Amino acid sequence: MSEFVQIEQGTAAVNASGCPSNFSAKDKPDWDLYSTCIHCGLCLNHCPTYRVLGTEMDSPRGRIYQVLQVDAGRLPIADSFVTHIDRCLGCLACETACPSGVQYGHIVERARAQIEEHYRRPLLTRILRWAFYKKILRDYHLLAQSARALRWYQNSIWQSFARKSGILKLLGLAELEKLAPEIDERFFFGEISMLIPAMGKKRGRVAFHAGCIANVAYSSLNYATVRLLSFNGIDVYITPRQRCCGALHAHAGYREDARTLARRNIDTFLDGSQHYDAIVTNAAGCGSNLKQYGDLLAEDPQYAERARIFSAKVKDVTEFLAEITLLEPRKKFQSRVTYQDPCHLAHAQKVRSAPRELLKAVGATIIEMPHQDQCCGNAGTYNVTENELSMKILSAKMDDIASVLPEAKLIVTANVGCMLQLNAGAQQRGINVPVRHVVEVLNDCYY
């Protein structure tokens, strides 16, 4: 039997007034969560979808109101509700802006779990979601095979044929195809189970979570991360049997699959055979979800405590390096850069100063762009599923970036998805400025 269970049909629920709710009991957005919203509207102008669309239904306050209506039994989980919840990036800029401490991320993830249970998407969408979330992300062999097929396409004459012949345009895939990550020749999967020893005097030991797609696309970033840690006196153990963190599953409404993955990661990272100071990741979305295992498994009597222990150990690589302080690099990076805060680092993990401190420590000067913590529109799979809106959000981001060019010579961020999106934005605008991860910039200084 598959370890990835079918969505468990929840039992019918009642709302806080004791009336029937249109949500079911499992993973229900509860009154305790959404009633903290005082409808002040201070979040509205921080919300990228509200800024682009200008409609209350596509604002944080509007989405919370719709959740309340569904819970009150007055709004069905149907096309309108699904559209407005789907359009949310999950960027959590609204959580940062909210004076009332609304945990919007918890609300929207639960709303999406309810949609997954109660709403039937079109057949093709269901097939694609099943293949991606239930198969490819679950099985690293299948992920590697799919990546090889994509790499073959990217390196064959078929790619230029498809682009030049107009087939992609005809199929409505021209924009999406450009957003596909470039697949690496060497996958990082081969490094899983390896111990990369510290160079010089040992200062600590970490376990590294390598991500899922990051093993096949931008895998050079994973290599740079373990090297940078090693240069800084850290033993890096690339824990065996590790799995996808489940962030994409949780954001798409597959909370049970996210829980299964979380249990697998907890079992392997906390198996007691190794001691380490932190569980390190270089992907903001993964880090944010790994830190949420405590919430995800709060109702699981076997895992709740271990999930809390696991989450307390998780650190973004920039957070970890800023805490231990960098060793003196071999050379300095004397350039002016602009830094884009990844949403899941700035808003979800509240990590803003560490990447900047590290860049300054190696000699970089930071030219702050306007709205530096506004989403770029990537948001995991959002740039595929909500491509048109994602491109509008990216366009606003590129306006902000363009305003600090040419003074800034490099665009730096701290998340692979943002790199992909900003690269696409730079290409669209004809901006000839490279986009790099903080880790890559730092790593170059130690060679």
**Closer CB to ligand SF4, 109 or 184, in the complex:** 109
Measured from the CB atom, is 91 or 394 closer to ligand SF4?
91
Is 43 a residue that touches ligand SF4 (CB under 6 A)?
Answer: yes
Nearer to ligand SF4 among residue 326 and residue 384 (C-beta): 384
Instruction: Decide the pairing of beta strands 20-24 and 12-14.
Output: antiparallel
Which residues, listed in sequence order, are joined to residue 366 by a DSSP beta bridge? 337
- The stretch near ligand SF4 (CB under 6 A) out of 98-106, 112-120, 147-155, 255-263 is 98-106
Q: Of the two residues 236 and 389, which places its CB atom closer to ligand SF4 in the complex?
A: 389
**Under 8 Å between Cβ of 47 and 54:** no
How many residues appear in the chain?
A: 447
In this structure, the number of other CB atoms found within 10 A of the CB of residue 416 comes to 25
Shorter beta-carbon distance to ligand SF4: residue 100 or 125: 100
Q: What's the closest the beta carbon of residue 88 comes to ligand SF4, in angstroms?
A: 3
Of 108 and 431, which has the nearer Cβ to ligand SF4?
108
Kindly state whether residue 98 participates in binding ligand SF4, applying the rule CB under 6 A: yes
User: Which one of residues 5, 12, 25, 40 is an interface residue with ligand SF4 (CB under 6 A)?
Assistant: 40
Footprint on residues 158-177 left by ligand SF4 (CB under 6 A): none
206 scored as a contact of ligand SF4 (CB under 6 A) = no
Which stretches does DSSP call E strand in 172-269?
Answer: 195-196, 204-208, 234-237
CB 223 within 8 A of CB 447: no
∠ at Cα 275 (281, 328), nearest 5°? 55
Q: How buried is residue 96: exposed, middle or buried, by Cβ count under 10 Å (0-12/13-18/19+)?
A: middle
Q: Is 89 in the site for ligand SF4 (CB under 6 A)?
A: yes
Residue 156's contacts (CB-CB under 8 Å, 6 or more residues apart) are none
- Minimum distance from residue 67 beta carbon to ligand SF4 (Å): 11
Q: Which of 33, 37, 113, 396 binds ligand SF4 (CB under 6 A)?
A: 37
Q: How far is the CB of 41 from ligand SF4 (least distance, A)?
A: 5
* CA-only gyration radius of the chain, Å: 22
Nearer to ligand SF4 among residue 82 and residue 326 (C-beta): 82
Q: Is 41 in the site for ligand SF4 (CB under 6 A)?
A: yes
Residues 6+ apart with CB under 8 A from 245: 209, 211, 212, 261, 262, 265, 281, 286, 289, 290
Amino acid code (one letter) for 189: F
- Taking the least distance from each CB to ligand SF4, the nearer of 39 and 141 is 39
Per-residue binding string, ligand SF4, 46-85, x by CB under 6 A, is: xxxx----------xx-xx---------------------
What are the distances in angstroms from CA 16 to CA 21, 30, 60, 298? Answer: 9, 8, 21, 21
Contact flag: residue 91 with ligand SF4 (CB under 6 A): yes
> Residue 23 belongs to what H/E stretch?
strand 20-24
Spacing of C-alpha 296 from chain mean position: 16
- Pick from 7, 42, 75, 199: which binds ligand SF4 (CB under 6 A)? 42
* Bond prior to 197 in cis (omega within 30° of 0): no
Residue 39 Cβ, how far from ligand SF4 at the closest point, in Å?
A: 5
Nearer to ligand SF4, 42 or 391 (CB): 42
Site string for ligand SF4, 99-118 (x = CB under 6 A): -x-x-x--------------
| Chain contacts with ligand SF4 (rule: CB under 6 A) | 37-43, 46-49, 60-61, 63-64, 88-94, 97-98, 100, 102, 104
